[in-house]
A and B are shown apart, each in its own frame.
Chain A
Amino acid sequence: GENVEQHPSTLSVQEGDSAVIKCTYSDSASNYFPWYKQELGKRPQLIIDIRSNVGEKKDQRIAVTLNKTAKHFSLHITETQPEDSAVYFCAASIIAGGFKTIFGAGTRLFVKA
């Protein structure tokens, strides 16, 4: 079955710096890669996702890149702000057929003001 590894487990950056979180997946059939943000005591919420037919997607300060050959995808946050402090999860699944979504272990991001 699918296995998703996520690094680093903790990341501390200065406000205004960039943050990068990396994930690898094992199942070459996976074609949908979402990223979720979880603030303390809250439920995870989608911040960006990418499908396997594109290599990069941007949404304001957030971008995700995908390398299907290497089975690797990354989250990039530019100009970090204190409100970006949270736990971020990557995940992998297959779009059609109701396949399960498997998550990475999470990255706790601290943005220091």
Chain B
Amino acid sequence: NAGVTQTPKFQVLKTGQSMTLQCAQDMNHEYMSWYRQDPGMGLRLIHYSVGAGITDQGEVPNGYNVSRSTTEDFPLRLLSAAPSQTSVYFCASRQDGEKLFFGSGTQLSVL
């Protein structure tokens, strides 16, 4: 099993550009989520999904969209990048009652 795979590992955007962060898992987990990590602020939940076709907002959803068309994939879309979205992004998945498995992260800089 590859676990949780995130791409890209690094990305630089200009303000106003859009992009999609990819996340895929091969563990047949129903629950998938996106977090952003900023210094001193821990891991903040952006969006999460409890199964294909079902998504919900987390703590900091503004400026981000998600969709869940398959169990395996959970992409995160930045609609119009802003410098405040400079962060490290982690995708994570789990089964009910189990630990979160994290991807390796995407370091995003918005200039």
Contact = CB atoms under 8 A, between A and B. Distances in A.
11 contacts: A32-B97, A34-B99, A43-B102, A49-B99, A97-B50, A98-B50, A101-B100, A102-B59, A103-B35, A106-B40, A106-B42
Contacts of B59: 1, 102
Interface of A: 1, 6, 9, 32, 34, 36, 43-46, 49, 89, 95-98, 100-106
Contact of B103 (A1, A36, A43, A105): A43
Interface in B77-110: 90, 92, 94, 96-97, 99-100, 102-105
Given A9-B40, A105-B41, A98 B105 contact: no
B30 interface: yes
Interface in B25-65: 30-31, 33, 35, 40-45, 48, 50-51, 56, 58-59
Nearest to B49: A98
Chain A interface helix/strand/loop/mixed: loop
Contact of A101 (B33, B41, B56, B105): B33
In this complex, which of A1, A6, A46, A98 has the most chain B Cβ atoms within 10 angstroms of its Cβ?
A98
A32 B96 CA distance: 10
For chain B, give the interface size range: 20 to 34
A43 B99 contact: no
Contact of A89 (B33, B43, B56, B105): B43
